[in-house]
Structure 1
Amino acid sequence: MRHEPDAALPVGVLRSVRRLTQRRGRDLGGRFLVEGRQAVREALAGTSIVEEIIVDDPAKHADLLASASVPVWRADDQAMRQLSDTVTPQGIIAVCRQFSFGWEDLGEAQLIVICAQVRDPGNAGTVIRCADAFGADAVVLTSGSVDIYNPKVVRSTVGSLFHMPIITGVDLKEAVEHARGLGMQVLAADGDGSPLDLKQLGGGLARPTAWIMGNEAWGLPEADRALADEVVAVPMWGGAESLNLSSAAAVCLYATATAQRRS
């Protein structure tokens, strides 16, 4: 039953929700927090994972609350600070059920990203956002990667977390085998590979493609590179030593999506 947004947040609910700011609490409760207007809007749109919403000022978020058929609680500034992961709380938080996807959810995928032990929350979230922006069919985070329900990951996706299947906790070799089973070529992004622009000009990006993106600190070990059909590098003509993970992912995804749309 829906609560009116002027109902004060009960202490027991605050205590329960506060546990979700930590991974152990999220794992035990099977829930996670989504903060910010855009992210909450995307969580509400076309999904049924939102369980309740907490706001500081109901009037400020009346447009979102009007379509919410879940309990809505009003919290004071102190409570919002306890639940928020940001220096300045954004005033609206949704409590959501965790979701689960498998390879059967990919269908006839044309473009996926495999993040191999990507541990930085901001990078993981931005890769998910880029994958969504360029029309990828899924993102895979291998074992050893950051928790996708980490508040920084959720915030960095800006709602893209809810737009595509995200598969987690799989071995890289298993992910590559599944990608090949879908008829995809497997490309590894690494600075020592063949130039991306030449592969694009030669039509090599028009095929269904799975990109492997390595860890921020050590990239892709030789054993991981060997799993790919080819290692590809983003060419750089300026003075920068390298691109960070999310920037490289954006370039590779854009180039591949463009080639596939033109084919």
Structure 2
Amino acid sequence: MLTNPRSDRVKAVRALSRRSVRSRTGEFLAEGPQAVREAVAFRPDLVRDVYVTPEAAQRHTAIVEAAQAAGLRVHDVSPDVLAAMCDTESPQGIAAVCRVLDVPLHEALADLPPDALVCVLTNVRDPGNAGTVIRGADAAGADAVLVSDASVDVYNSKVVRSTVGSLWHLPLSVGAPVPEILAALRERGVRLLAADGAGTTLLHDADLSGAHAWVMGNEAWGLPQEVRDACDDVVRVPIHGHAESLNLAMAATICLYTSAEAHRSAR
């Protein structure tokens, strides 16, 4: 059992909380049972090490057994060691060091179906919003999530936790500039729908047939004019009450689910 919170191994894992270290090593830390369970189940090839406390090993036997069955290295650690590895105030007893899973833009778009549903995050800076949008895209059955170079690092621990495992469920591409993303989608015949409060088309009036991508903007200022102009339509979610606006993650989930239902009805 690993019991020294100041060991080199523990320091190396803790260092993954820094973006510069994640970029250099190509690794990140997935914390908590949901994240580790999904990583082991869906992408065990990307899991380098699993760390678990004795109490968590008893509580999450299925995760530990699945990791061992996949031939992964499972390390018993003391609660102090796990706390030193993680950046959450109350770690849930299990974490995994994983290799990054994003793919180049052309790979993420290589095999899109005729009625593809894609989500594009441009200048999204809040980790919780980014993670929740990825989770919502997964739940709605989206075919890919594309995260621009100006957005938050998707391997930030807060993003990883807020995806609740959805990070491993669908194609993910990160780091391309917004113009490159939009051009790549257009080349593949995917219509571009800008989700913005300035839109003149209401969501229930939008054309949601065929392949299309929802382009989501920054939490505070939305989408810049040049991005809206590059899209085929600018759509807004109607607000029937007195709320000033919707949270980005809420708006994205509503748009994605509306598209998913439109596609289901057309099949």
After TM superposition, the score normalised by the length of structure 2 is 0.91
- One-letter amino acid of the structure 2 residue matched with residue 27 of structure 1: S
- 1:103-127 per-residue CA deviation (whole Å, 9 max, x = no partner) reads 2333124010111111100000000
Aligned to 1:4: none
**Conserved? CA contact 2:41–2:66, under 8 Å:** no
Aligned to 2:25: 29
Spell out the pairing of 1:202-217 with structure 2 (5 A cutoff).
204-217=207-220
Which of 73, 76, 94 does residue 75 from structure 2 map onto?
73
Q: 3-state SS of the aligned residue for 2:257? A: helix
Gaps of 5+ in 2: none
Q: Matched residues in 2 for 1:126 and 1:100: separation?
A: 17
Q: Matched residues in 1 for 2:16 and 2:34: separation?
A: 20
Q: Matched residues in 1 for 2:3 and 2:143: separation?
A: 38
Aligned residues: 253
- One-letter amino acid of the structure 2 residue matched with residue 79 of structure 1: V
Q: Matched residues in 1 for 2:84 and 2:38: separation?
A: 23
**1:63 corresponds to 2:76:** no
Q: Matched residues in 1 for 2:41 and 2:21: separation?
A: 26
Aligned to 2:258: 255
Q: 3-state SS of the aligned residue for 2:22? A: helix
After TM superposition, the score normalised by the length of structure 1 is 0.92
Q: 3-state SS of the aligned residue for 1:40? A: helix
Spell out the pairing of 1:51-200 with structure 2 (5 A cutoff).
51-57=48-54, 58-68=57-67, 69-102=71-104, 103-106=106-109, 107-109=111-113, 110-193=116-199, 194-199=201-206
Gaps of 5+ in 1: 1-6
- 1:158-215 per-residue CA deviation (whole Å, 9 max, x = no partner) reads 000001111111111111111112211100001121111122xxxx112211111001
Which range moved further: 16-25 or 248-257?
16-25
Query: Displaced runs of 4+ in structure 1, greater than 6 A?
Result: none
- One-letter amino acid of the structure 2 residue matched with residue 217 of structure 1: A
